[in-house]
Structure 1
Amino acid sequence: MIYQFKEHIPVVHVTAFIHPQAAVTGNVIIGKHVYIGPGAAIRGDWGKIIIEDGCNIQENCTIHMFPGVTVHLKANAHIGHGAIIHGATIGKNCLIGMNSVIMDNVILGDECIVGALSFIKADETFDARSLIVGNPAKKIKEVSDEMIGWKTQGTELYQQLPDEMRHYWKACEPLREIPSISADKLDHNADTQYQTWNQQRKNQDG
């Protein structure tokens, strides 16, 4: 749902997809081919939220801020399930792992990767291509070309999703028994299977 707050009405590009069970409130700007999943709360009541082109904010994420602050997700930022972004700036093509918390005034350079369940405390700044993990989170190494290529591939799937949702997504009644269909039809995503980082490394190592 989209909500006005005081004089602020969210601005959403026509190519973006916002799930009706997400809540987008107030001073929020959402760019092209952005995906917002169900349960996400994007609350621009006390400050401003800018979500640039190609970003995705997955299920149950929260984006908010202290009064007067702008939260900025730069192009192609990828915010994993359940993550919290509070008053931070996320650089271009960053990946924020599932259930991570990014606190106030944090600045992530471009193409950083934050591991799942990480906690980045307020006022931290990380250079581009930092791999950041832990609680409190620390940089453990540089993000390699292979890692950022893997991340970019995953983000591209989410950039295709808004258009697919508009074409194929609809409410329905459940089936009461499993239909009799062939195994190849069940594997409907066989042509777009995506490997975890560990799977990809294993295949590369032979």
Structure 2
Amino acid sequence: MGVQSGLSGIVIRRVERASRPRLKTRIFPPFTRILETERMALYQLGDVAPTIDNDAYVAPEATVIGRVELKARSSVWPGAVIRGDNEPIVVGEASNVQEGAVLHTDPGCPLNIGDRVTIGHQAMLHGCTVGEGSLIGIQAVVLNRAVIGKDCLVGAGAIVTEGKVFPDRSLILGAPAKAVRELTEDDIAKMRLNAETYAVRQAMYKQQLKRIDG
């Protein structure tokens, strides 16, 4: 059933499980029997639907809309919203978008997240680029056309202003955010371990998460 979005007659449709064939990339991950009654909030906008790899995980309470690509072993956790209505949003392999995070774009500002990236709880990303292996801290904000290099750490609560560019391996803190030092090999190893932990955990959730109605 279509719902008028108010955007030039575009219709938003919730994507149902039975509406897609079994392909290498699907708009839903494979579920075990205990989760067959769960429905993820995946929405087609006009004729554009999310593309989600078989090995990705989207929590039932997350919302994914429109031109969004989730690559293998990526994960989107409860309460996160990824809204690809203006420009494409890509979440790289083994990256995670944690609870309450918001990812959105403005016209002319696509959003690209590299592989093995962590997007912390309640972070907000808008039309930016985040390089491979980086971590965006809790409640951090990264705005249009900003570029976060590879293996960077954006601290909790930092605000990265529009168009700001940071080199690889930067520790980025403050509001407005500034690079305060270069990350060590130990710092980078910890961020990589965090991303891998989420990539492993999402596989467990796909197999073992069970809703309890009481």
The interval holding the TM-score normalised by the smaller chain is 0.7 to 0.9
Letter in 1 for 2:62: A
Query: Contact 1:35 / 1:161 at 8 angstroms: preserved in 2?
Result: no
What is the rounded CA distance, in whole Å, between the counterparts of 2:128 and 2:85 in structure 1? Answer: 16
What is the rounded CA distance, in whole Å, between the counterparts of 1:5 and 1:52 in structure 2? Answer: 22
Letter in 1 for 2:114: K
What is the rounded CA distance, in whole Å, between the counterparts of 1:70 and 1:120 in structure 2? Answer: 16
Percent identical pairs in the alignment equals 31
Q: TM-score, normalised by structure 2?
A: 0.80
Query: Contact 1:94 / 1:110 at 8 angstroms: preserved in 2?
Result: yes
Does 1:51 find its partner at 2:91? yes
Does 1:102 find its partner at 2:124? no
What is the rounded CA distance, in whole Å, between the counterparts of 1:138 and 1:69 in structure 2? Answer: 22
Offset, 1:153: 1.0
* Structure with the greater alpha carbon radius of gyration: 1
2:25 maps to none
What is the rounded CA distance, in whole Å, between the counterparts of 1:26 and 1:173 in structure 2? Answer: 30
1:165 maps to 205
Query: Contact 1:15 / 1:162 at 8 angstroms: preserved in 2?
Result: no
What is the rounded CA distance, in whole Å, between the counterparts of 2:87 and 2:162 in structure 1? Answer: 17
Does 1:10 find its partner at 2:41? no
What is the rounded CA distance, in whole Å, between the counterparts of 1:161 and 1:17 in structure 2? Answer: 10
Does 1:115 find its partner at 2:152? no
| 1:78-97 superposed matches below 5 A | 78-97=118-137
What is the rounded CA distance, in whole Å, between the counterparts of 1:8 and 1:161 in structure 2? Answer: 29
Letter in 1 for 2:173: V
What is the rounded CA distance, in whole Å, between the counterparts of 1:16 and 1:153 in structure 2? Answer: 18
What is the rounded CA distance, in whole Å, between the counterparts of 1:62 and 1:156 in structure 2? Answer: 21
Letter in 2 for 1:10: P
How many equivalent residue pairs?
A: 174
Which runs of 4 or more aligned residues in structure 1 lie more than 4 Å from their structure 2 counterparts after TM superposition? Answer: none
What is the rounded CA distance, in whole Å, between the counterparts of 1:102 and 1:75 in structure 2? Answer: 17
What is the rounded CA distance, in whole Å, between the counterparts of 2:49 and 2:148 in structure 1? Answer: 28
Does 1:137 find its partner at 2:155? no
RMSD of the TM alignment (CA)?
A: 0.9
**Other structure's SS at 1:4 match:** strand
Letter in 2 for 1:141: R
What is the rounded CA distance, in whole Å, between the counterparts of 1:57 and 1:4 in structure 2? Answer: 20
What is the rounded CA distance, in whole Å, between the counterparts of 1:68 and 1:150 in structure 2? Answer: 34
Offset, 1:7: 1.4
Q: Which runs of 5+ in 1 are unaligned?
A: 175-206
Offset, 1:112: 0.4
| TM-superposition CA deviations, 1:107-162 (whole Å, max 9, x none) | 11100001000000000000000000001110000010000111111111101012
